[in-house]
Amino acid sequence: MDTTHRWHAVSGQSVRSVAERTADLLNTLAQEDAGPAQIEEVLRAHGESEPHLSRTDLRCLHRAAAQLRHVLRASTTEQAAERLNHLLTATAHPPRLTDHGGTTHWHLHLDSHDDAPWAEWAASSAGMCLALLLSDRQRPPGGVCAAHGCARIFIDTGSGSPRRHCSRRCATRARVAAHRAAPQNSASTATASTSTSWSS
Ligand SMILES: [Zn+2]
């Protein structure tokens, strides 16, 4: 009945869902105290019905996350493409269509088989997703949040102007801070209350 395991494809409309899952995974893995249970929760929230991670899975996911962050920290499209090619060479297998034994719609996988290790699945699907975004938009596929004090990464699935923040909250926070900083510079009457918005 519940056959959503690994059915989020890396093609067409599902690029967005892989992007969202990847960003959540990377930001959760970046938390010092994130154990298998927290990562399983992220995977479940993104449609994986039976995520059971071993310590080895977690270690490999951390390694994959480091490679993906390296891609997202690229400062130019060219650098991002170069890093993505490196990641794809290291993690992706020949494209393979699967319907998971008739339980899902047909979709594309770049891992070696349907029961490949989680890290292989996560890295190869994310790599494909980022590569598609880069080639569609001709710009880096994401980045690190520009808000002061925020180190979360984001993946840019929009087609408008490039995104700079991990969330609406950080974008608002940065806008408010910029607005407050401008008159302050000339008025030289900095008030204590204006700096408190950073702390939340
Ligand atoms: Zn942020």
- Taking the C-alpha atoms of residue 106 and residue 115, their distance in angstroms, rounded to an integer, is 16
**Residue 164 belongs to some domain of the structure:** no
**Residue 180 belongs to some domain of the structure:** no
Distance 164 CA to ligand 1 centre (A): 9
Distance 145 CA to ligand 1 centre (A): 5
**Residue 111 belongs to some domain of the structure:** yes
Distance 127 CA to ligand 1 centre (A): 22
- Rounded to a whole number of angstroms, the distance between the first and last alpha carbons of the chain is 42
Full pLDDT tens readout for the chain, 200 residues: 333 444 444 444 579 999 999 999 999 999 988 999 999 999 999 988 889 999 999 999 999 999 999 999 999 999 999 999 999 999 999 999 999 899 888 888 999 999 999 999 999 999 999 999 999 999 999 999 999 999 999 999 988 899 999 999 999 998 888 888 886 555 444 443 333 333 33
Distance 110 CA to ligand 1 centre (A): 30
**Residue 31 belongs to some domain of the structure:** yes
CA 83 to chain centre: 15
**Residue 184 belongs to some domain of the structure:** no
Amino acid 182: pLDDT? 81
**Residue 193 belongs to some domain of the structure:** no
Distance 3 CA to ligand 1 centre (A): 34
Distance 15 CA to ligand 1 centre (A): 22
Instruction: State the residue range of the domain holding 39.
Output: 12-140
Distance 70 CA to ligand 1 centre (A): 17
Q: How many domains does the chain have?
A: 1
Nearest to 2 by CA among 113, 107, 104, 97: 104
Distance 185 CA to ligand 1 centre (A): 24
Return the structure tokens found at 148: 């002061």
Which CATH number characterizes residue 39's domain?
A: 1.10.3300.10
Return the structure tokens found at 116: 């490949």
Interaxial angle between packed helices 77-91 and 118-137, expressed in degrees from 0 to 180 and rounded to the nearest 10: 150
> Hey, what amino acid is at 125?
S
**Neighbour-count burial of 110, counting CB atoms closer than 10 A to its CB (0-12 exposed, 13-18 middle, 19+ buried):** buried
Neighbours of ion ligand 1 (CB under 5 A): 145, 147, 150, 152, 166, 170
**Residue 132 belongs to some domain of the structure:** yes
Distance 171 CA to ligand 1 centre (A): 7
Distance 121 CA to ligand 1 centre (A): 26
**Residue 108 belongs to some domain of the structure:** yes
